[in-house]
Amino acid sequence: MSTIFGWTYDEHNKSHRLFRRGVIVVTSLVCFVAAWWDVSILANSVAIPSPAETWDALVNLVRNGDSITGRSLWEYISSSMKTYLEGFALAMIVAIPLGLIIGYSKTIHDFASPVIEVLRPIAPIAWAPIFILAINYSIGPVLVVFIGIFFPLLTNVIFGVEKIDGNLIDASKTLGASRLQVFYKVMIPSAIPYVMNGVKIGLGIGWMCIVAAELYAPQLSGIGFFLSEQATAGFWPGAFAAIVVIAVLGLITTGLAEYIHKVVTSRMGMSYV
């Protein structure tokens, strides 16, 4: 218990905790905007618009769309979301089964790890020019997002399979489970919280990749294209508005992933990793 401005804070009271958290979050954001404002005044440069100018550009973007191309904000967002979801789906389809098999078989693990270790440290964005210019502009950004999500997801799935409680496997064997049954009735469910953790991390990284990937694919008309178009034209408040949009969409996707992770893990009766 502590008393602030005559108000007594009780940490065992949920609404007190939420209120405290809310005050801190708001204070933090206010400080951030104030600092941004200061920097924009001190720098006195057109390339750093103030929060107010950015806000105006954002409102204008939402109401009237892109003044250069005439496209609406929703067109940009839906194009980016489509690329993002395709890359994410592809990463799930490839990384989850692959991770389960690699985690299960030591031979496959030893065979695959050199390749994984060579490719993993390469920044996903480094692939962008190659995928987009050499393959094609509609698949390219999807592949960049795929790479961004693939590796964190894969390593989490492998880790999840390797972390399985050996007693659970022994228990299932003594109850009569075959090797295949041990795999899909024990190993796969045990790995689910780790898979979800990988999904959560991957979604964040995938979102970072998309914008960079779209810089190379103007044909796609994603939000990344809008950002570079505005900056190229010297419409700095518009470029900043694009960054705000990207931040908000990123927050929504990772928040959603976090929520799904929590729900799945507790539904499965497992601890939250």
Partner 1 sequence: MSEARSKEGEIQIRIENLRKVYVTDESQTVAIEDFTLDIKRGELISIVGPSGCGKTTLLRMIAGLLEPTSGTITIDGRPCSDPGPDRGLVFQDFALFPWRTVRKNVEFGMEVTGVPKEERRLRAEEYLRLVGLEKFMDARIHELSGGMKQRVGIARALVNDPEVILMDEPFGALDAQTRNIMQAELTKILEKSDKTIIFITHSVDEAVFLSDRIVVLSKRPAEIKEVIDIPWPRPRDRASPEFTALRKHILDELEKENVLNN
Residue 101 and residue 108: Cα distance in Å, rounded?
A: 7
Q: How far is the CB of 263 from partner 1 (least distance, A)?
A: 13
Q: How far is the CB of 195 from partner 1 (least distance, A)?
A: 13
CB 103 within 8 A of CB 194: no
Q: How far is the CB of 193 from partner 1 (least distance, A)?
A: 9
Which window, 19-27, 84-92, 104-112, 165-173, contacts partner 1 (CB under 8 A)?
165-173
How far from 232 is each of 46, 220, 236, CA to CA, in Å? 13, 17, 9
| 48 near partner 1, rule: CB under 8 A | no
Among 25, 108, 171, 251, binds partner 1 (CB under 8 A): 171
DSSP codes of every residue in 78-147: HHHHHHHHHHHHHHHHHHHHHHHHHHH-HHHHHHHHHHHHHHTTS-GGGGHHIIIIII-TTTHHHHHHHH
How far from 229 is each of 82, 181, 236, 271, CA to CA, in Å? 20, 54, 10, 46
176-215 mask for partner 1 (x: CB under 8 A)? xxx--x---xx--xx-x-----------------------
| 175 near partner 1, rule: CB under 8 A | yes
The H-or-E segment that residue 69 falls in is none
Q: How far is the CB of 186 from partner 1 (least distance, A)?
A: 7
Q: How far is the CB of 264 from partner 1 (least distance, A)?
A: 10
| 263 near partner 1, rule: CB under 8 A | no
Among 10, 38, 110, 170, binds partner 1 (CB under 8 A): 170
Residue 207 and residue 251: Cα distance in Å, rounded?
A: 10
DSSP state of 48: S
- Helices then strands, each counted (H, E), the chain: 11, 2
| 269 near partner 1, rule: CB under 8 A | yes
| 165 near partner 1, rule: CB under 8 A | yes
The residues binding partner 1 (CB under 8 A) are 165, 167-168, 170-178, 181, 185-186, 189-190, 192, 268-270
